[in-house]
Amino acid sequence: MERFRLFTTQPIEGPRATLRVDASRPATFTIDRRIFGNFLEHLGGCVYGGVWGQILLNSSFERDPRISRDVARLPWPWEPLGDVKATAVKMAANSELSARLEGRGPEAGVRQRVFLPSHRESRYEGYLYLRAEGDVNRVQVSLRNARDGGEPLAQAELQGIPGTFRRFPFRLQVDPEEAPPLRPVDFCVTFTGPGTVWVDQVLLFPRDAVHGIDPDIIKVAKDWNIPLLRYPGGNFVSGYHWRDGIGPRDQRPSYPNPAWDGMETNQFSTDEFMRFCGLIDAKPHFCVNIGTGTPDEAASWVEYMNGRADTPMGRMRAENGHAKPYGVKLWEVGNEIYGEWQIGHCSALENARRYRAFSQAMLRVDPSLELIGNGEAADNDWNQTLIRECGPLLRHISLHPLVSLPGGLQDRFSLEEIYYSSMAHPWDFEDRFLPNLRSQIQADARTPDNVTAAITEWGIIVGGEWGETLRYPHAENQGGAVYSGCFLNALIRSGEIVSVANITGLLHGGGMKKRREKVYVDPMYWALKLYADSGAHKAVATAVEGACYSVPRRGFLPAVERVPYLDVVACLNRSGSELTLFVTNRHLKQDQEATLELEGFRFEGGRMRTLEAPGMLQRNSEEDPDRIRPRDSVLTDRGTSLQCRFPACSVNAITLRRAQPKA
Ligand code: AHR
């Protein structure tokens, strides 16, 4: 493989390294920008409470039996307010349950504690469905100060409540001084008893939401320069039925998320996701349900996305406001279907059978699709079965080389040992697993040689309690950023065998965060952005002479030898006018000094971006969002060599401008 011919490491002692880059020896493959892809899943606060700007959770009052079966109480996160008997019972306004509020005193109702994006917007609009029994004719919708005895910050009065459900729009405006950012407020629906009011489908949007999508999320995601966005899961997809999520939003069903905590209201789904992709200039990458779904269901989704407006599903799409086919090319057939945590998990042979059935049905609708079969990053036999059974139908094989920390390692190894083993993982994956997969593909006569790996989830994720993310390297701290630098370098060097990759993830794992309606980013966001912004087009020959370390097998993490502290790739942009070096220093404590020696490239100035932090566990928060972000410096040197210093535990990008030949 070119990876072994063009990129070499020579271990030497001491913290001074030499980086030899030969720009006249480019790789034969170009860098597929899709390796800087991302992943959005219906999980936690990623979609509801994340991308989707609607502020209230469980807007249709459904009960999640995994949280409570207590029918005498309102479902999470709704709470009764005042003198009321509040229950959620079947009386559907286009959903299963509705809140029944039997008011007895001067004030009765429901409330939900929320945060407002007051840093940018003070105006809100929404609607709810109401019906009344008895003498109640008026209902108030309000935002109240949660800390200050419930003083109203804004209120709207709705009159003429009928005996059958009717939709009532409302508008609210708060004074930002009275409702500063990050402070809780209560959203309340109240009336004067005695009497009974039924409430359902309560939605509250900031007025600046863009077609329902959070404008802060749009801005930060767009700045991220995401070429490709995978959706809707993840584990979620194996219980997802796309038809639930199209058409008028009020008529879409709500139910517990099949894979994760929380409710799935289907308010954000296919068309909303496509809108989001358009707003952030990302290409969509869909994953279909092979857990509880059928080949027909997947094929009809393809027709909904790509069929002409005179096909049955294309017509449905046109009726939903999108006459022009979306033309989505990249489709993944199933998610981690090998794992017993996956809904509908199965054997390797059954995965191959499903892949054949699903891919044939999907390709019948659109033969131009680029499909990804469900592979396994820790099991060559699994992949061998897929290759043997489905070779001619394959284009990509998915892998999820996720590192889940602490994953039991915490009882046997020190934090430093866990760190160094984790940072060696990308090296091992690149050095051993990917070349082996390539050999498996090449050895099978019926499998086209251009079948590549699609690393549709990667990163250090939580393999324990969520709170533990603070104590180990993780996608949300600087350790995750260093891991990203190592992993992205590995992907660039492995361009012959990898053409798609999606980090975990847009709003979970390392990426963007939205807490208390404030959007901020993890260090890993910046690491990825250094690459996505660079215009890197072709890697060139790079030899690193520098200090290395070796780790023994530690739990699920492999033994790896000769891992360089400085992980380096060098890439030319498309025109050859710029050379960018991506350098990650894995060393936890020592800065690394390096001499860069260039062949085939004389430079004249440039810039350096450095993402460093005072330790691997450092992170950003909604209160301190800019703690870790890249530092930029201008380089005024010229010639063919450069002295550089790479701080401990850092990710760096040095971009050098090619010197113009003298006239
Ligand atoms: O990203 C969270 C989960 O991690 C995904 O749903 C699953 O595919 C992976 O194991």
3-state secondary structure 129-182: EEEEECCCCEEEEEEEECCCCCCEEEEEEEECCCCCCEEEEEEEECCCCCCCCC
Give the Å distance between the CA of 8 and the centre of ligand 1: 33
Residue 66, number of CB atoms within 10 A of its CB: 10
Give yes or no for a contact between 248 and 94, defined as CB atoms under 8 angstroms apart.
Answer: no
Residue 150 burial (C-beta neighbours within 10 Å; 0-12, 13-18, 19+): middle
3-state secondary structure 365-423: HCCCCEEEEECCCCCHHHHHHHHHHHHHHCCEEECCCCEEEECCHHHCCCHHHHHHHHH
Residue 38, number of CB atoms within 10 A of its CB: 28
Give the Å distance between the CA of 264 and the centre of ligand 1: 17
State the pLDDT at residue 574. 97
Q: Look at ligand 1, atom 2, and give the residue with the nearest C-alpha.
A: 234
State the pLDDT at residue 91. 64
Dist CA 144 CA 40 (whole Å): 33
Angular region, 164: left φ>0, alpha ψ -120 to 50, beta rest: beta
Parallel, antiparallel or unpaired: strands 396-398 and 452-458: parallel
Residue 315 burial (C-beta neighbours within 10 Å; 0-12, 13-18, 19+): middle
Q: Look at ligand 1, atom 4, and give the residue with the nearest C-alpha.
A: 234
Q: Which atom of ligand 1 is nearest to the CA of 259?
A: 6
Give the Å distance between the CA of 234 and the centre of ligand 1: 5
Would the pTM of this model clear 0.85, i.e. be above it?
yes
- Token pair, residue 272, equals 């909303």
| Amino acid identity, position 113 | R
| Amino acid identity, position 396 | H
Residue whose CB lies within 8 A of the most ligand 1 atoms, among 461, 506, 507, for a mutation test: 461
Q: Look at ligand 1, atom 8, and give the residue with the nearest C-alpha.
A: 234
Pocket of ligand 1 (CB under 6 A): 41, 233-235, 335-336, 457, 504-505
Q: Look at ligand 1, atom 3, and give the residue with the nearest C-alpha.
A: 234
Q: Look at ligand 1, atom 7, and give the residue with the nearest C-alpha.
A: 234
Dist CA 287 CA 659 (whole Å): 45
> What residue ranges of the chain have pLDDT lower than 50?
none
Sign of torsion over alpha carbons 586, 591, 592, 595: positive
Give the Å distance between the CA of 501 and the centre of ligand 1: 14
Dist CA 517 CA 216 (whole Å): 9
State the pLDDT at residue 469. 67
* Tokens 């929380």 found at: 262
Give the Å distance between the CA of 476 and the centre of ligand 1: 15
Give the Å distance between the CA of 340 and the centre of ligand 1: 13
Residue whose CB lies within 8 A of the most ligand 1 atoms, among 400, 455, 469, 503, for a mutation test: 400
- Token pair, residue 334, equals 């199933």
Q: Considering only CA atoms, which of 549, 534, 542, 580 is closest in space to residue 35? A: 534
Give yes or no for a contact between 214 and 139, defined as CB atoms under 8 angstroms apart.
Answer: no
State the pLDDT at residue 4. 78
State the pLDDT at residue 580. 98
Give the Å distance between the CA of 597 and the centre of ligand 1: 42
State the pLDDT at residue 95. 55
3-state secondary structure of 37: strand
Q: Which atom of ligand 1 is nearest to the CA of 335?
A: 8
Give the Å distance between the CA of 434 and the centre of ligand 1: 21
Dist CA 133 CA 248 (whole Å): 28
Q: Look at ligand 1, atom 9, and give the residue with the nearest C-alpha.
A: 234
**Rg for the chain, CA atoms, rounded:** 27
Give yes or no for a contact between 63 and 252, defined as CB atoms under 8 angstroms apart.
Answer: no
Q: Which atom of ligand 1 is nearest to the CA of 339?
A: 10
Compute CA distances 35 → 276, 336, 508, 567, 611, whole Å.
20, 19, 18, 18, 20
Give the Å distance between the CA of 354 and the centre of ligand 1: 20
Q: Which atom of ligand 1 is nearest to the CA of 235?
A: 6
Segment holding 331, helix H or strand E: strand 330-333
State the pLDDT at residue 465. 72
Q: Which atom of ligand 1 is nearest to the CA of 233?
A: 6
3-state secondary structure 551-603: ECCECCECCEEEEECEEEEEEEECCCCEEEEEEEECCCCCCEEEEEEEECCCE
Partner residues linked to 372 by β-bridges:
332, 396
Give the Å distance between the CA of 341 and the centre of ligand 1: 10
Residue 56 burial (C-beta neighbours within 10 Å; 0-12, 13-18, 19+): buried
Residue whose CB lies within 8 A of the most ligand 1 atoms, among 42, 43, 235, for a mutation test: 235
Residue 48 burial (C-beta neighbours within 10 Å; 0-12, 13-18, 19+): buried
Dist CA 35 CA 121 (whole Å): 36
State the pLDDT at residue 92. 52
Give the Å distance between the CA of 235 and the centre of ligand 1: 6
Give ∠ CA 60-49-455 in degrees, rounded to 5.
115
State the pLDDT at residue 67. 83
Give the Å distance between the CA of 3 and the centre of ligand 1: 29
